[in-house]
């Protein structure tokens, strides 16, 4: 593709951003659909976030993704925020419509899509969510919106788990409890177990948020982490013959929903998945 005066610019705002896979996903998708667009990364420090958002308007950047640590803070600089993003309290996708910046959250949709692809039903299920940060909130809201029966939020900081559980209970009128990570060890059985913490992420690949004993009690195990492709947490599931999934499909699915917001079209997920897996996963 030739970059010219008509090329539309998209990107990622965050800090740090140099290891992001988003440029590989979106630039491949743009090429596959013969779109005159490019995607790059913008390393933006927290103190410069407001100026960066103003720059998006001035430079007519057509849209961008948002990653840590800006997903929550950026909301106050946007003109319109979707209902789902408001419920989650975070934005990961922004569309620039003639100078009006609209914020969305595609993480939740990406997570649900990945469960559907794994042929896991949600309605009527019981879930244990490890972690109480932004990723956990997106998971909890998406499960609540899709018919989960009940949830337990487990976190090292129990106060954070309590705050999130009370929010989910009040907002969605479902059974949502909380406990410490250590208390998960005492559970007799677990239906759906989701790791929404960063424990086990590269380079600390030997770490797991809970023991193998806990994982062995679950019927289905999900780790939002995709680097490494198979965490210690997921290795426990594999060793015990438990169905499991990592965050790679969620990464692609949330990117696809962002792509749709920007271009009006979904990309071909299988093509993007194979492109990434062939070119990158041996290095993850």
- Please count the other Cβ atoms lying within 10 Å of the Cβ belonging to residue 60: 11
- Nearest one of 23, 199, 218 to 128, comparing CA atoms: 218
Is 211 annotated among the ligand-binding residues?
no
**Which residues contact residue 126 at a Cβ distance below 8 angstroms, ignoring those fewer than 6 apart?**
148, 149, 150, 151, 152, 190, 191, 192
Is 155 annotated among the ligand-binding residues?
no
**Which residues contact residue 169 at a Cβ distance below 8 angstroms, ignoring those fewer than 6 apart?**
175, 176
Is 247 annotated among the ligand-binding residues?
yes
Burial of 159 (0-12, 13-18, 19+ CB in 10 A): exposed
Is 14 annotated among the ligand-binding residues?
no
- Nearest one of 159, 126, 142 to 92, comparing CA atoms: 142
- Nearest one of 62, 51, 46 to 8, comparing CA atoms: 62
What's the chain's length in residues? Answer: 284
Catalytic residue among 6, 8, 54, 71: 71
Query: Is 119 among the catalytic positions?
Result: no
Is 49 annotated among the ligand-binding residues?
no
Taking the CA atoms of 149, 155, 161 and 164 in sequence, report the sign of the dihedral they define: negative
Torsion-angle region of residue 133: left (phi > 0), alpha (psi -120 to 50) or beta? beta
Is 144 annotated among the ligand-binding residues?
no
Is 133 annotated among the ligand-binding residues?
yes
Is 142 annotated among the ligand-binding residues?
no
- Note whether 272 and 29 are within 8 A (CB): yes
Is 11 annotated among the ligand-binding residues?
no
Is 10 annotated among the ligand-binding residues?
no
Is 21 annotated among the ligand-binding residues?
yes
Is 52 annotated among the ligand-binding residues?
no
Which residue positions form the known binding site for NADP(+)? 83, 131-135, 224, 247
Indicate the annotated binding residues for shikimate. 20-22, 67, 92, 107, 226, 254
Give binding residues as ranges.
20-22, 67, 83, 92, 107, 131-135, 224, 226, 247, 254
Q: Which residues are catalytic?
A: 71
């Amino acid at each position: 593709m030739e970059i010219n005066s008509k090329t539309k610019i998209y990107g990622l705002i965050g800090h740090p951003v140099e290891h992001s896979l988003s440029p590989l996903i979106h630039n491949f998708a743009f090429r596959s659909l013969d779109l005159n667009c490019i995607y790059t990364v913008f390393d933006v420090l927290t103190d410069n976030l407001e100026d960066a958002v103003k720059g998006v308007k001035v430079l007519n950047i057509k849209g961008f993704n948002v990653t840590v640590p800006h997903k929550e803070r950026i909301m106050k600089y946007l003109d319109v925020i979707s209902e789902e993003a408001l419920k989650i309290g975070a934005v990961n996708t922004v569309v620039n419509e003639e100078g009006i910046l609209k914020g969305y959250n595609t993480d939740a949709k990406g997570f649900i899509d990945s469960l559907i692809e794994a042929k896991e039903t949600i309605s009527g299920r019981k879930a244990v969510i490890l972690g109480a940060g932004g990723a956990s909130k997106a998971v909890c809201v998406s499960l609540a919106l899709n018919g989960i029966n009940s949830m337990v939020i487990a976190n090292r900081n129990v106060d954070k788990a309590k705050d999130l559980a009370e929010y989910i209970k009040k907002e969605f009128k479902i059974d949502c409890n909380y406990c410490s990570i250590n208390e998960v060890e005492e559970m007799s059985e677990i239906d759906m177990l989701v790791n929404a913490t960063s424990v086990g992420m590269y380079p600390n690949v030997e770490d797991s948020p809970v023991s193998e004993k806990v994982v062995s009690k679950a019927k289905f195990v999900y780790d939002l982490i995709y680097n490494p492709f198979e965490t210690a947490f997921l290795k426990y599931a594999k060793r015990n013959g438990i169905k499991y999934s990592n965050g790679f499909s969620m990464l692609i699915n949330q990117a696809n929903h962002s792509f749709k917001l920007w271009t009006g079209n979904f990309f071909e997920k299988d093509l993007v998945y194979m492109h990434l897996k062939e070119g990158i996963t041996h290095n993850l």
